[in-house]
Amino acid sequence: MLQYAIKVLLTATLVVAISELAKRSSFWGATLASLPLTSVLAFVWLYHDSGSAQRVAELSQSVLWLVIPSLTLFLVLPPLLRSGIGFWLSLGAASVATVVAYVGMVWCLGRFGIRV
C-alpha cells in the first residue's frame, strides 16, 4: 500500500508542478509537460513491479504509436479557444476528437497487424 501511495504522490506532484510552472511561464510549463516524464515513471514502476524489460519495451513501443493521435488535442484545442468557444466546450470537443484519433490509429495499426 505504501508503494501505491508513493506512486500517486510522485505523479500528483509532477502534475501540480507543471500547472504551477505554467502560471509563471507557459513556455517552461509546456517544456516540462512535453517531457515524457509520465512514460518514464510508468516504465520505472512497471520494471520495479514486474522485473521484465520485455514488458517495458512493449509499453514503450505502444506509447510511441499512441503519441501520434494524442497530438490531436494540441492541434484542435488552441483554434477552438482562440475562436471564442468556451474552455470546457473546447476541451470537450478536442478530447472527443482525440478519442476518435485514438480509435482510428488503433484500427489502422490493427489492419497492419500491429498490436498496441
Q: What is the pLDDT of residue 24?
A: 93
pTM: 0.75
Task: Output the 3-class SS for the chain.
Answer: CHHHHHHHHHHHHHHHHHHHHHHHCHHHHHHHHHCCHHHHHHHHHHHHHHCCHHHHHHHHHHHHHHHHHHHHHHHHHHHHHHCCCCHHHHHHHHHHHHHHHHHHHHHHHHHCCCCC
Q: Which amino acid is at 26?
A: S
**Percent of the chain residues past pLDDT 70, beyond the cut:** 100
What would the pLDDT profile of 61-101 be if each residue is shown by its tens digit? 999 999 999 999 999 999 999 999 999 999 999 999 999 99
